[in-house]
């Protein structure tokens, strides 16, 4: 299957609000040219209009603002890159209220609007001090996947083959009938989205097909950052299919990624206390709330020989890390630090990534600030009120200022659950909220 | 600077090879006092004494002088030893450099090379670096699949790479099979026979590619001084072929890339290596016997063909086993990168080290199942 090359448009704009309408018009046309519907086009236009409007107020005057728009098959990606003269981006927090003072909207309203229009937002700081604000607008799919139950008999003979945009729709329909919503990726809920995600190359998939041409298993994988592969599955239909089928699907993935830039594969076995063969158990997520009977196991499969690396470590996390590194036989040098270097004067920002049909949220700190503890408590409460049972936080041990979050997490009821090798700039630590709901917020 | 714009896509998509760290650093990271390198198929006996003497004789002041740009004396020695003309040889900074020369000499955009998906990775990498299509044919029974490779040849196929014996499986084609393959290729493209482990092979039916050069002008033979001759640290290898073919490769050849010490050591090794080869072969023979017995006792599947290595299927992640063995001061090569997930490759070493390896392996594979 030829790789999809997404069309791109980019422009550099002076920090001057007079150019905002021109950029917004270009965005509207780009959305149409990318083949998206009117609704998505308007989201892109609004995102560019408000995003650029906001940045014109806060960006460094001496440098232009770069805007890049990319039309993937299943989503549009918008990126702003510039240097900021101020960096209080607190409205990116999901808990932030519309910024209004004395009945008047403040200039932060534009950034607030962008973050609420987008399906996903991300903020990254580059070594040269520039910031990249990334916005993703998903294609809207109307027709949900119709479950395809059927009786697939245990297979004696099967072949593993790459999934096509067509065959993945069949796999999605079978998965929706046979599996829980947490087990399959969210894009399986819409056949068109499943096909588009595979066509775009963002995810790849392989199927186990029986001699009777029935889809009896599926495995999916994607690169969630430049170095790690995220593996979903294998899902077998029914689960009682021979274990060799699951092993064959996983081996297919490993052989596909073995000579790429990937250095490891991370798998989450939903509802299972075990990991696929050949994977190392990183840890489990304890169940909470109404779903106390379930446990998810995270596991890792290295693709290259581990030559060791260094990580930043807050003293309060040292015991946990040393224990985990010894258990996993991972050679690491720990640099103890308790300093929070970045943006101490501004507000902290946590980016939310909702998963498993909204049952779970992963929080990632992108800015630190003196309000970090308060901000975390507000997020906890906000999520609790909306019935989100699983709250996770991921800290990147390659980013020194993130280590300052460790004691705050421990104080607020989070517990470190596992180390994910090379999950970020270096290893990451996944925390899960294990405490009781705390009334610490004010807003 | 927009690096993404400046860098061609095919370069961006290449996995940069990350060599293992120096031994002192690895020992410090893994907390081991000694480190036995069983990962790179280096010769644990070192270079032949004559080569060691050549290194010792090298006058330090001569480091100021450029080496012979085309390894003149070494090519003379090769010609004398192998009864060919000096112009039939090109000497390179390890055979990796020569692989690159061959691909650059014969392939342009739109051309392709054919090789296996489970062999020495450099053929594939060089093709990728030069934006040449790679046609990777799966091994059949761990051996290069001649029929499937022949089916991949088309008008844009320029080079076929055969690793004989294959690294890492140790399987090989005998003379009759190589000759039949060459006949069926019928000069449509260059065939490279990589004989990096030639000197280890003891099967009398094994194919000595040098003897086929007269009948097959499209054939190129690669050999190296890194393995049997123990000169891996000096980086030196050579290719041989028909004079007109070698002339073409010379267009893409990098002169002065092989240093003077390497040239002198290689020449000495070539002229005075008989005893060294016999000693090494005896060590490998004994080591394989020991290893086979140990692995059979552990009930582990293995491939221990020709060459100075053995490939073992392990009941856990090869990467995890690597780390655990490193902690015990034993460095093996994981095979996931060779598309053999769950296998390791072990260099055949002396009895004491191999015994230590077998004991360590036994202890690790008998470890807690939950951590596999």
Q: Does A29 score more than 90 pLDDT?
A: yes
Residues of A in contact with B321 (CB under 8 A): none
Considering the domain architecture, whether residues A290 and A317 belong to the same structural domain is answered as: no
Structure tokens, A167 = 């065959």
For B325, name the nearest residue in chain A, comparing CA atoms only: A329
A239 and A272 both lie in a single domain: yes
Q: Structure tokens of B272?
A: 């005075």
Q: What is B288-304 written as a DSSP string?
A: HHHHHHHHHHHT--EE-
Nearest chain B residue (CA) to A261: B15
CB contact (8 A) between residue B319 and residue A303 = yes
**Is the pLDDT at B17 greater than 80, yes or no?**
no
B328 at A interface, C-beta within 8 A: no
> Which whole number is the average pLDDT over A384-412?
90
- B49-271: CATH topology is 3.40.640
- Best of A251, A269, A278, A328 to substitute, by most chain B Cβ atoms within 10 angstroms, is A278
- Confidence at residue B372, expressed as pLDDT on a 0 to 100 scale: 39
Q: Which residue of B15, B21, B316 is in closest CB contact with A278? A: B316
Choosing from A108, A138, A168, the residue where a domain stops is: A138
Unique residue bearing structure tokens 């020695």: B77
Asked if residue A224 belongs to a domain, the reply is yes
Residue B221 CA to residue B218 CA, distance in Å, equals: 10
pLDDT at position B41, please?
Answer: 97
Cβ partners under 8 Å of residue A10, min gap 6: A66, A67, A68, A69
Considering only CA atoms, which of B334, B91, B68, B134 is closest in space to residue B225? B91
Of the ranges A209-223, A289-303, A341-355, B139-153, the best mean pLDDT one: B139-153
| C-alpha span between B270 and B198 (Å, rounded) | 13
Q: Select from A105, A138, A171 the last residue of a domain.
A: A138
pLDDT-derived band at A147, boundaries 50, 70, 90: confident
Q: Which segments of chain B does DSSP mark as H helices, in order?
A: 3-6, 9-12, 23-30, 49-57, 72-82, 95-106, 122-129, 146-152, 175-185, 243-250, 260-271, 274-298, 318-327, 351-365
Q: Min CA distance, B271 vs chain A (Å)?
A: 38
CATH number of the domain residue A376 falls in: 3.40.630
**What ipTM did this prediction achieve?**
0.84
3-state secondary structure of A315: helix
Q: What confidence tens digit (pLDDT) does each residue in B133-160 have?
A: 999 999 999 999 999 999 999 999 999 9
C-beta separation of A191 from A238 below 8 A: no
Torsion angle in degrees (nearest 10) through CA of A215, A219, A223, A225: 140
List residues bridging with A419 in a β-sheet. A429
- Residues 6 or more apart whose Cβ sits within 8 Å of residue A336: A313, A314, A315, A318
Q: Is B18 on the interface with A (CB under 8 A)?
A: yes
Domain span including residue A187: 158-302
Residue B247's SS3 state is: helix
At residue B103 the predicted structure's pLDDT band, cuts being 50, 70 and 90, is: very high
Asked if pLDDT for residue A253 goes beyond 50, the answer is yes
pLDDT at position A290 over 60: no
Query: What is the total count of domains within chain A?
Result: 3
CB contact under 8 A, A278 and B29: no
Contact call for B337 and A259, based on CB within 8 A: yes
With CB atoms and an 8 Å threshold, state whether B323 touches A333. no
Q: Is there a single domain that holds both residue A251 and residue A322? A: no
Per-residue pLDDT tens for A93-137? 989 888 888 888 788 888 899 999 999 999 888 777 788 999 999
Residues on chain B touching A251 (C-beta within 8 angstroms): 341
Architecture of domain B3-46+275-371: Alpha-Beta Complex (3.90)
Domain layout of chain B by residue ranges: 3-46+275-371, 49-271
- Whether A293 and A244 share a structural domain: yes
- Pull the structure tokens for residue A368: 């630190």
Residue A438, in any domain of the structure: no
A321 in the same domain as A241: no
Average pLDDT estimate for A427-434: 93
Q: Does B319 reach chain A within 8 Å, measured CB to CB?
A: yes
Contact A307 B18 (CB under 8 A): yes
Same domain for A429 and A321? yes
Does B21 lie at the interface with A, CB-CB under 8 angstroms? yes
Return the half-sphere exposure (C-beta side, CA atoms, 13 A cut-off) of residue B35: 22
Verify that A12 and A132 share a domain, yes or no: yes
The residue-averaged pLDDT of A319-343 equals 87
**Count of CB pairs separated by less than 8 Å, A with B:** 81
Main-chain dihedrals φ then ψ at residue A400, nearest 5 degrees: -55, -40
Residues A334 and A383 placed together within one structural domain of the fold: yes
Put residue B342 in one of left, alpha, beta given phi > 0 → left and psi -120 to 50 → alpha: left
* Residue of A258, A264, A272, A300 for testing the chain B interface, max B β-carbons within 10 Å: A258
Whether the Cβ atoms of residue A125 and residue A402 lie closer than 8 Å to each other: no
Q: What are the pLDDT digits (tens) for A170-194?
A: 999 999 988 888 888 889 999 999 9
In chain B, the residue whose alpha carbon lies closest to the alpha carbon of A301 is B317
Note whether A221 contacts B: Cβ–Cβ < 8 A: no
Q: Answer yes or no: is A83 within a domain.
A: yes
Instruction: Give domain status of residue A264, yes or no.
Output: yes
Tell me the C-alpha to C-alpha distance, in Å, between residue A369 and each of A122, A335, A345, A402, B311. Answer: 18, 22, 6, 11, 53
pLDDT at A443 over 60: no
Name the token pair of B16. 């940069």
With CB atoms and an 8 Å threshold, state whether B21 touches A308.
yes
More confident residue, B237 or A275: B237
A308 vs B: CB within 8 A? yes
What pLDDT score does A356 carry?
73
For residues A293 and A329, membership in a common domain is answered with no
A208/A327 same-domain check: no
Q: Does A326 touch chain B (CB under 8 A)?
A: no
Picking from B170, B164, B200, the residue whose alpha carbon sits closest to that of residue B182 is B164
CATH code for the domain of A80: 3.30.565.10
């Amino acid at each position: 299957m030829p790789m999809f090359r997404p069309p791109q448009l980019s422009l550099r704009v002076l920090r001057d609000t007079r150019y905002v309408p021109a950029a917004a018009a270009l965005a509207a046309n780009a959305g149409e040219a990318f083949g998206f519907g009117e609704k998505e086009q308007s989201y892109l236009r609004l995102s560019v209009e408000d995003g650029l409007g906001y940045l014109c107020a806060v960006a460094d005057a001496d440098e232009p603002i770069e805007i890049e728009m990319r039309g993937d098959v299943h989503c549009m990606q918008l990126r702003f890159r510039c240097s900021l003269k101020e960096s209080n981006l607190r409205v990116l927090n999901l808990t932030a209220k519309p910024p209004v003072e004395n009945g008047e909207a403040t200039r932060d309203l534009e950034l607030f609007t962008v973050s609420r229009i987008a399906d996903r937002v991300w903020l990254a700081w580059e070594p040269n001090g520039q910031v990249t604000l990334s916005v993703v607008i998903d294609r809207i799919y109307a027709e949900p996947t119709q479950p395809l139950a059927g009786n697939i008999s245990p297979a004696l003979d099967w072949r593993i083959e790459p999934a096509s945009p067509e065959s993945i729709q069949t796999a999605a329909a079978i998965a929706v009938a046979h599996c829980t919503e947490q087990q399959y990726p969210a894009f399986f809920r819409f056949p068109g989205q499943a096909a588009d995600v595979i066509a775009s190359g963002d995810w790849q998939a392989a199927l186990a097909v029986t001699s009777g041409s029935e889809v009896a298993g599926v495995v999916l994988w994607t690169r969630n950052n430049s170095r790690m592969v995220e593996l979903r599955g294998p899902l077998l239909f029914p689960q009682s299919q021979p274990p060799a089928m699951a092993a064959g699907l996983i081996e297919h993935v490993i052989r596909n990624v073995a000579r790429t830039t990937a250095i490891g594969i991370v798998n989450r076995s939903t509802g299972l206390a075990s990991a696929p063969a050949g994977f190392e158990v990183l840890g489990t997520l304890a169940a909470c709330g109404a779903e106390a009977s379930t446990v998810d196991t995270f596991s890792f499969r290295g693709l290259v020989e581990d030559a060791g690396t260094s990580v930043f470590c807050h003293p309060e996390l040292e015991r946990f890390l040393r224990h985990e590194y010894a258990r996993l036989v991972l050679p690491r040098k720990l640099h103890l630090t308790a300093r929070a270097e970045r943006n101490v004067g501004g507000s902290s920002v946590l980016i939310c990534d909702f998963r498993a049909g909204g049952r779970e949220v992963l929080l990632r700190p992108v800015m630190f600030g003196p309000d970090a503890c308060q901000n975390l408590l507000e997020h906890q409460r906000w999520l609790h009120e909306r019935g989100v049972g699983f709250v996770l936080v991921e800290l990147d041990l390659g980013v020194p200022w993130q280590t300052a979050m460790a004691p705050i997490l421990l104080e607020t009821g989070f517990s470190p659950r596992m180390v994910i090798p090379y999950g970020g700039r270096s290893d990451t630590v996944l925390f899960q909220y294990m405490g009781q709901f705390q009334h610490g917020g004010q807003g | 600077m927009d690096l993404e714009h400046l860098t061609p896509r095919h370069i961006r998509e290449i996995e940069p090879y990350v060599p293992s760290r120096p031994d002192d650093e690895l020992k410090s990271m893994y907390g081991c006092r000694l480190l036995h390198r069983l990962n790179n198929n280096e010769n644990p006996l070192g270079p032949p004494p004559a080569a060691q003497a050549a290194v010792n004789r090298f006058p330090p002041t001569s480091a100021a002088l450029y080496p012979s740009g085309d390894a003149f004396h070494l090519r003379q020695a090769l010609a004398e030893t192998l009864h060919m003309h000096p112009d039939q040889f090109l000497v390179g900074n390890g055979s990796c450099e020569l692989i690159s020369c061959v691909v650059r000499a014969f392939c342009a955009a739109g051309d392709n090379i054919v090789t296996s998906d489970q062999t020495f990775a450099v053929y594939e990498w060089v093709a990728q670096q030069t934006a040449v299509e790679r046609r990777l044919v799966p091994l059949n029974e761990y051996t290069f699949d001649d029929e499937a490779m022949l089916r991949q040849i088309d008008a844009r196929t320029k080079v076929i790479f055969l690793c004989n014996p294959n690294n890492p499986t140790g399987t090989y084609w005998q003379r009759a099979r190589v000759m039949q393959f060459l006949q069926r290729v019928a000069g449509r493209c260059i065939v490279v026979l990589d004989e990096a482990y030639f000197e280890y092979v003891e099967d009398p039916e094994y194919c000595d590619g040098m003897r086929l050069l007269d009948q097959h002008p499209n054939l190129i033979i690669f050999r190296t001084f890194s393995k049997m001759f123990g000169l891996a640290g000096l980086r030196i290898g050579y290719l041989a072929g028909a004079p007109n073919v070698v002339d073409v490769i010379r267009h893409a050849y990098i002169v002065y890339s092989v240093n003077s010490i390497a040239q002198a050591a290689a020449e000495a090794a070539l002229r005075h290596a008989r005893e060294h080869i016999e000693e090494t072969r005896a060590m490998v023979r004994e080591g394989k016997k020991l290893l086979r017995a140990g692995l059979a006792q552990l009930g582990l599947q293995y491939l221990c063909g020709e060459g100075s290595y053995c490939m073992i299927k392990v009941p856990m992640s090869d990467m995890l086993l690597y780390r655990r063995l490193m902690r015990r001061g034993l460095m093996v090569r994981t095979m996931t990168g060779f598309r053999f997930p769950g296998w390791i490759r072990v260099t055949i070493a002396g009895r004491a080290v191999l015994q230590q390896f077998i004991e360590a392996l036994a202890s690790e594979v008998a470890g807690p199942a939950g951590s596999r």
